[in-house]
Amino acid sequence: MKLQVRIVQQKGSILQRKYTIQAATDHKHVADLRDLKLERCNELQGEYCIDTTTVRCMAWFSATVSSGVPLVFVNIQTEQIPSTEETHFLKREIATSKQKINNANQIMHGIRLWFLPGLAEILVVLIPQPGEARFGMEIKRTEEGFVYIYSVMRGSPADRAGVREMYEELSANEFLLVISRLQCKSIMPMNVCSASLVHCCDQSEMKDILTSAIDQYEMIQVHVMAWSNQTRPSPIPDVGGLAALLHPKSDSSL
């Protein structure tokens, strides 16, 4: 999100000349910049209600689509979870919230976000040849937790399997070629903890799996998500006044 701000002198810092930022259109809105640990940040937010959790959930999805991840919104729902149960879900959960009742018991509320690949989840089989030391694709992770392919070597197993062709087509339209499964095991961000930290797959473990397979000259199955040039995300409902944030940006890519 882009904000118009101005640099102003921080109150109470006449001698030390400390500065902070102020909203350009309202002098009453001043940011308090501090070096805090995550636990202290969560304590200051006080956003343990279902409405704010839903807003954060949709903001996460909006940022994901804006990054170029090919996802289509399907549905969003809430559900209660027993207080003794871990705050983890089975699929597609993006946020959790807490509500205190009678200052004693806690009821956990979860936000379940359902989404689909933009066009399809495509199975790609990478088959190395004797003497090849790599499958020929480099991977990165978006800030939202999705693993994607950012380069493919010509003449490599990935190139022969058609990955480079898909990568170049998507890159030309500023979309990402996202890996959704490796050896049929999902590597998508699927759940979060009560502190709103998104749990992602271990990227080093992915590289170990690929390295082990290439060392043994074994084929490996990779599922990727993509969409065609004509396909665009379906409309996303306005949750908490986020309509302006919930559309893909053509000029942004991680």
Same domain, yes or no: 157 and 134 = yes
Measured distance between the N- and C-terminal CA atoms of the chain, rounded to whole angstroms: 15
Is 86 strand, coil or helix? coil
Quickly state the pLDDT bin for 13 (edges 50, 70, 90): low
Same domain, yes or no: 52 and 149 = no
CA-to-CA dists, residue 225 to 46, 104, 116, 176, 221, angstroms? 36, 45, 9, 9, 14
Range in 35-49, 128-142, 207-221, 238-252 with the lowest mean pLDDT: 238-252
Residue with the two structure tokens 């903890």 = 193
Same domain, yes or no: 104 and 144 = no
Residue with the two structure tokens 């009821």 = 107
pLDDT at residue 227, rounded to an integer: 62
Decide if 9 is inside a domain: yes
Same domain, yes or no: 180 and 97 = no
Decide if 253 is inside a domain: no
Alpha-carbon distance of 136 to 116, in angstroms, equals 27
Decide if 252 is inside a domain: no
Structure confidence by residue, pLDDT tens digits, 156-169: 999 999 999 999 98
> Whole-number mean pLDDT of the chain?
76
Same domain, yes or no: 10 and 59 = no
Decide if 254 is inside a domain: no
Same domain, yes or no: 51 and 28 = no
Q: Which domain holds residue 216?
A: 120-189+196-226
Same domain, yes or no: 133 and 216 = yes
Structure confidence by residue, pLDDT tens digits, 95-153: 444 444 444 455 677 788 998 888 778 899 999 999 899 999 999 999 999 999 999 99
Higher pLDDT among residues 28 and 75, named by residue = 75
Angle at 144 between CA 138 and CA 146, to 5 degrees: 35
Quickly state the pLDDT bin for 173 (edges 50, 70, 90): confident
Alpha-carbon distance of 246 to 208, in angstroms, equals 36
pTM for this structure?
0.67
Structure confidence by residue, pLDDT tens digits, 182-231: 999 999 998 887 667 788 888 888 888 988 999 989 999 999 987 654 44
Classify strands 105-117 and 93-101 as parallel, antiparallel or unpaired: antiparallel
Angle at 206 between CA 73 and CA 136, to 5 degrees: 95
Number of structural domains the chain divides into: 3
Q: In the chain, pLDDT over 90 holds for what percent of residues?
A: 30
236 touches 73 (CB < 8 A): yes
pLDDT at residue 250, rounded to an integer: 30
